[in-house]
Amino acid sequence: MQPEIQNNPRFFPWFEDFIGAIDGTHVRASVPIEMQERFRGRKDKTTQNVLAAVDFDLKFTYVLAGWEGYAHDSRVLGDALRKGFKVPEGFMPPFRRVRYHLKEYIDNPPENEQELFNLRHSSLRMCIERAFGVLKKRFCVLDAEPFLSYETQVDVVLACCVIHNYLRGVDPNDAITQEADLEVETHDIRKSLTRKEIREETKECVKKRNSIALAMWNAYKKHRTN
């Protein structure tokens, strides 16, 4: 069990089986002019769309780099699944069309079990935002205009993730990590919930999520009234 969950009453026992998070990010890419339209991602720059999974130690457990910046996340995930990436059984996305992002709750606490679940789900999911933040701050080459072949650019992303994992084992709280964490905390991260819809929700997953949310909400209300 993850100590970040076991030692925090906001998460335990509700999320005791959670092992990490999955999402995508964009890094700069340089491609021939005839290919650039397919690689135009965010802010009209050419990028590659990188899918990654991380654990709560901010270590990358899976990385798929190389997709065009224009590619939808669902296509990238589909490719990862075909290549052998295994989504853990019981993958649990947040409730759709329900408040999710942390800053919405500063002066506006959750009003029901779905909002409380999404709030705490968001807190746990920040591990992947933090991992991406540390990775890009440590390896500025990922946001610089590349001059290597595209195949090498893809390899550079993978190499940076490997080195990142090694450095997390050496000093998990170095100055770069602290600086990146501060930047993540001060930015309002607004992403469409569809980016988190890894696959169609099964009835079993929905039932389990509803059960967790209700139990969490009952404990939350009891704590507030005591």
pTM: 0.80
CA-nearest of 11, 199, 25 to 122 is 11
Per DSSP, which regions of the chain are E strands?
A: 21-28, 47-54, 60-68
What pLDDT does 129 receive? 92
Contact, 86 vs 64, CB < 8 A?
A: no
In the chain, what are the domain boundaries? 16-93+125-197
Question: Which among 127-131, 189-193, 198-202 has the top mean pLDDT?
Answer: 127-131
| pLDDT beyond 50 at 54 | yes
| pLDDT beyond 50 at 14 | yes
| pLDDT beyond 60 at 98 | yes
Q: Where is pLDDT greater, at 86 or 140? A: 140
| pLDDT beyond 50 at 55 | yes
Summary mean pLDDT of the chain? 85
How distant, in Å, are the alpha carbons of 1, 4, 44, 70, 155 from that of 151? 38, 37, 21, 18, 6
Contact, 7 vs 16, CB < 8 A?
A: no
Q: Where is pLDDT greater, at 207 or 2? A: 207
